[in-house]
Copies of this chain bind each other. A is one copy, B any other.
Amino acid sequence: MTLVHTVAELRAALAPARAEGASIALVPTMGALHDGHGSLIRAARDEADVVVVSVFVNPTQFNEAADLAAYPRTLSEDVALAQAAGADLIFAPAADGIYPEGFATTVALRGTLTETFEGAERGVGHFDGVTTIVAKLLAMVGPDCAYFGEKDAQQLAVVRRVVADLSLPVRIVGCPIVRDPDGLAMSSRNRHLSPAAREAALALPRALAAAASGVESGRLTDGDTLEQEAFASLRDAGLEPEYVRAVDPESFTSVQELDGAVLIVGAARVEDVRLIDNLPAASAAPRRTRVPTAQAVTA
């Protein structure tokens, strides 16, 4: 496996494979790799000839300086995990190689998808930072496919929209959330949890599971009640809820009448750690369809 730090090294390392027509996969990460990332790398390994893992803690997507400073940096462990999962090349650039002096371009997606939930909590600059760095990494690597975790479901939807809007020639692949045996979604931030907070954090996947179960049984029929129940159970466990909502999985518009397939998304804080998670759910109740009236049909 090769570790490179500059775009020139990256392109030189990929040139022979590209010239031979090999397929290239990109797994973009901010490092602090865990088995969730491992699952992305293994999925990429299964499909592509060459697997590139980028490791870059992107400063422009952090709205809190303290969060950026505290974000774990563990490059030597990352290299070992990526290699074990099947990566061929790790690209770990320095920030000034990504954002040189005079840098002034943003790839910006506007609308509900970037302004709600994570966009509302972390500020509109968060997704601008995400979409700009993803566009740059795609331009640097030139992959045929790129792998993203479904844990960051809104980010995945944002990336899919930007890739479609900019006609980028890459297939975006979403991979399922990887959970610890007790149900907590893996996250680089979990290593900041104290043992007590780690235990309390389980309230988030439990609240989402209860909500999904309520939707699927038909007990929960509206988004507001779903939110109220989830907030109550999170607060009971000592978490500070940010949002729990049933949303349309593509547009992330909030769904109030729970009569079809939704994604239940949630975010909460425990101690100083921010947790996010999500779970799909489909109501057993038939989705209401609009039956055209005779007048509408003949109009």
Binding site for B on A (CB under 8 A): 7, 11, 19, 21, 100, 102-111, 113, 131-132, 135-136, 139-140, 142, 161-162, 164-169
Contact = CB atoms under 8 A, between A and B. Distances in A.
Contacts of A106: 107-108, 110
B107 A166 contact: yes
A132 B168 CA distance: 12
A105 B7 contact: no
Query: Which of A19, A132, A162, A165 is most buried by chain B, counting CB atoms within 10 A of its CB?
Result: A165
A105 B166 contact: yes
What is the count of identical protomers in the complex?
A: 2
Query: Which of A19, A131, A166 is most buried by chain B, counting CB atoms within 10 A of its CB?
Result: A166
A104 B161 contact: yes
A7 B166 CA distance: 12
Given A19-B21, A21-B19, A136 B166 contact: yes
Contacts of A136: 166-167
Query: Which of A11, A100, A106, A162 is most buried by chain B, counting CB atoms within 10 A of its CB?
Result: A106
Given A21-B19, A104-B110, A113-B104, A11 B139 contact: no
A139 B165 contact: no
A162 B108 CA distance: 13
Given A107-B107, A142-B169, 18 more contacts: A7-B167, A102-B161, A104-B110, A104-B111, A104-B113, A105-B107, A105-B108, A105-B161, A105-B165, A106-B107, A106-B108, A106-B110, A107-B108, A107-B166, A132-B166, A135-B166, A136-B166, A139-B169
22 contacts: A7-B167, A100-B164, A102-B161, A103-B165, A104-B111, A104-B165, A105-B107, A105-B110, A105-B166, A106-B107, A106-B108, A106-B110, A107-B166, A132-B166, A136-B166, A136-B167, A139-B166, A139-B167, A139-B168, A139-B169, A140-B167, A142-B169
